[in-house]
Amino acid sequence: MNDAVLILDIGNSRIKWAMFQDSEWLADGFSTHDCMDTIQREWARFPTPHKVIGCNVAGKKVSDSISDYWLGRGIQVNWVKPSRFCAGASNLYDSPEQLGPDRWAALVGAWHRVHGACLVVSAGTALTVDALNQDGEFIGGFILPGKRLMHESLVSGTHALNEFSGKVVEFPKNTADGMASGVALSMSSSVQAAWQRLASKNVPAPICLVTGGDAEWLANYVQIGVIIAPRLIMEGLLIMAREAEQT
């Protein structure tokens, strides 16, 4: 029986994918948006999966290209949209449909990992810091520029150095280190402040899960214990796919 599921996480800068079958991750990869031919050659190596499910924040042009490819192989891509409830998690956003589908998938994945209060941090093009309470309710979250966007804003808005050569140090004594350290402090402090807010409302203290391309970098500077979960969004998408089959 073909129970293979191809999972797609289309971010602002990269297309990430993974194949899941027989309770294990078989293969995965990523590409930039302008390398669609490369990623399609990768997919051509695999038999057509039972299901293709994905989330997309990169716009219609990218998702249409992927949908057309899979329609050519006889399968329709299920693009996830945020909902009020999914797989035990509740979305308390003022307008649930306005929550990014990648954030919603990460929250669903986090709830099934933890089944308790947790902070869900995604460190990519943007930094999102989302809170789940002990009842699985997404009570809100923050959106900040990510590492590269913060640095580029300094470069474009000032006469700062146009490079990423700085080191993160306690008290910087040059401009490059000042920029690198400022970005790290801003991002890590935002995560810690959100965690403290959530911890004040929940006992035991919440777990902090970090995903995204800059997850390991950010984890070095956050002064709370974190769990790096590189496939968190894909784990959530897989749970969504299974729930859809049951309804």
Which residues have a catalytic role annotated?
A: 102
Are the CB atoms for 49 and 2 separated by under 8 Å?
A: yes
3-state secondary structure of 69: helix
Are the CB atoms for 89 and 130 separated by under 8 Å?
A: no
- Alpha carbon distance 4, 24 (integer Å): 10
Per-residue three-class SS string for 28-67: EEEEEHHHHHHHHHHHCCCCCCCEEEEEECCCHHHHHHHH
Residue with tokens 């700085």: 166
Q: Is 94 exposed, middle or buried (0-12, 13-18, 19+ CB in 10 A)?
A: exposed
Are the CB atoms for 219 and 29 separated by under 8 Å?
A: no
DSSP class of residue 230? T
DSSP class of residue 205? P
Omega prior to 204 cis, within 30 of 0: yes
Are the CB atoms for 57 and 100 separated by under 8 Å?
A: yes
Rounded to the nearest 10 degrees, how much is the dihedral formed by the CA atoms of 102, 108, 112, 116? Answer: 110
